[in-house]
Structure 1
Amino acid sequence: MRDEASMALTVLDTQVPAMPDHDGLAMPGVSRAVAGDGVRISARTDVKAVAAWLREFQTSPQTWRAYRKEAERLLLWLECRGETLASVRRETLDAFERFLADPQPASRWVGPSRPRAAPDWRPFRQPLSAASRRQALVILQGMFAWLVEAGWVEHNPFRLMRDKRRRMDNRREGVERYLERALWQRFWAWLQTPPASEATNAQRYRWARRRFLFGFAYLLAPRLSEMATAQMGDFIQREGRWWWQVVGKGDKLAHVPVPPDMLSLLVDWRETLGLAPHPQPGDATPLLRALDGRRGVGDNQLYRLIRETFQLGYRALDDLPDARRAPLRHATPHWLRHTALTHQAQAGVELRYLARTARHARLDTTARYLHAEAEEWHRQLAHHRLVEADTSDDGTL
Structure 2
Amino acid sequence: MTQAPLQPAPPMPARLGDAAPTDVRIQAESDADAVAHWLAEYQDSPQTLRAYRREAKRLLLWLEEQGAYLHDVDREALRRFEAFLAAPPVAWTGPSRPENHPDWRPFRGALSPASRRQALVILQGLFSWLVEAGWVRHNPFRLMRDKSRRLNNQQMRVERYLEGELWDWFWQWLNRPQSEDVTPRQRYERKRLCFVFGFAYLLAPRVSEMATARMDDFFSREGRIWWRVVGKGGKQADVPVPEDFLECLSQWRATLGLTAMPGHEEPTPLIRALDGQREIGDNQLYRLIRQAFNRAAVALEEENGEPAHVHTLRRATPHWLRHTSITHQAQAGINLHYLAESARHSRLDTTSRYLHTEDARWHTEQQRHRLSRTEPPH
- Shorter-chain TM range is over 0.9
Match of 2:51 among 58, 66, 74: 66
Structure 2 distance, partners of 1:315, 1:209, is 20
Query: Aligned-pair distance for 1:389?
Result: 6.5
Q: CA deviation at 1:391?
A: 3.4
Percentage of pairs with the same residue: 59
**Counterpart position of 1:314:** 297
Residue 259 of structure 2 aligns to a residue whose secondary structure is coil
CA drift at 1:172: 5.2
The aligned counterpart of 2:23 is 38
Residue 125 of structure 1: how far off its partner (Å): 2.5
Contact residue 8 and residue 102 of structure 2 kept, 8 A = no
What is the aligned partner in structure 1 of residue 87 from structure 2? 102
Q: Distance in 2 between matches of 1:47 and 1:235?
A: 42
Correspondence for 1:51 among 9, 24, 36: 36
Q: Is 1:77 matched up with 2:52?
A: no
Question: 1:252 corresponds to which residue?
Answer: 235
Q: Which moved more, 1:344-353 or 1:94-103?
A: 94-103
Q: Determine if the alignment matches structure 1 residue 365 to structure 2 residue 350.
A: yes
Local SS of the residue matching 1:169: coil
CA distance in 1, matches of 2:27, 2:194: 49
1:267: which partner in 2? 250
Root mean square deviation of aligned Cα: 2.3
Tell me the TM-score normalized by structure 1: 0.88
Give me the whole-angstrom Cα distance separating, in 1, the residues matched to 2:32 and 2:366. Answer: 54
Contact 1:218 1:337 in 2 (8 A): yes
> Offset of 1:34 from its aligned partner?
9.9
**In the aligned structure 1, how far is the partner of 2:33 from the partner of 2:153?**
32
Give 1:222 deviation, angstroms: 0.5
Q: Which residue is 1:174 aligned to?
A: 157
Report the equivalent of 2:167.
Answer: 184
Q: For 1:384 and 1:309, how far apart are their aligned partners in 2?
A: 44
Contact 2:5-2:91 within 8 A present in 1 as well: no
Residue 220 (structure 2) aligns with: 237
Secondary structure of residue in 2 paired with 1:246:
strand
After TM superposition, the structure 1 stretch with the greater mean CA deviation from structure 2, 342-351 or 41-50, is 41-50
Q: Which residue of 1 aligns with 2:331?
A: 346
Greater Cα shift, 144-153 or 361-370: 144-153
What does residue 216 of structure 1 align with?
A: 199
Task: Give 1:386 deviation, angstroms.
Answer: 3.7
Matches within 5 A, 1:14-29: 28-29=13-14
Aligned mates of 1:283, 1:294 — CA distance in 2: 13
- Structure 2 counterpart of 1:93, from 78, 84, 101: 78
Please give the secondary structure, in 2, of the residue aligned with 1:10. Answer: coil
Q: CA deviation at 1:132?
A: 2.3
Q: Is the 8 A contact 2:128 2:139 kept in 1?
A: yes
How many residues are aligned here? 375
8 A contact 1:115–1:300 mirrored in 2 = no
| Structure 2 CA distance for aligned equivalents of residues 34 and 388 of structure 1 | 71
String of CA shifts for 1:132-157, please: whole Å, max 9, x gaps.
22222221122122222322222222
**Aligned letter for 2:8?**
M
Q: Which has the higher contact order (CA 8 A, sep 6+)?
A: 2
Tell me which moved more, 45-54 or 334-343.
45-54
2:300 is the counterpart of 1:300:
no
Question: What residue in structure 2 maps to residue 25 of structure 1?
Answer: none
Give structure 1 stretches of 5+ with no counterpart: 12-27
2:367 is aligned with 1:382: yes
**How far apart, in 2, do the equivalents of 1:335 and 1:100 lie?**
22
Q: What residue number does 1:161 align with?
A: 144
d(CA) in 2 for partners of 1:278, 1:339:
26
Q: Secondary structure at the match of 1:8?
A: coil
Pick which of 140-149 and 110-119 moved more: 110-119
Shift in Å, 1:326: 2.2
| Conservation of the 8 A alpha-carbon contact between 1:113 and 1:125 | yes
Partner SS for 2:269: coil
Taking the aligned partners of 1:147 and 1:173, their CA distance within structure 2 comes to 28
Task: Describe the shift of the 1:65–1:379 C-alpha distance in structure 2 as closer, same or farther (beyond 3 A).
Answer: same
The question of whether the paired residues in 2 share the 8 Å contact of 1:131 and 1:172 is answered with: no
Could you tell me which residue of structure 1 aligns to residue 98 of structure 2? 115
CA contact (8 A) 1:195 1:203 kept: no
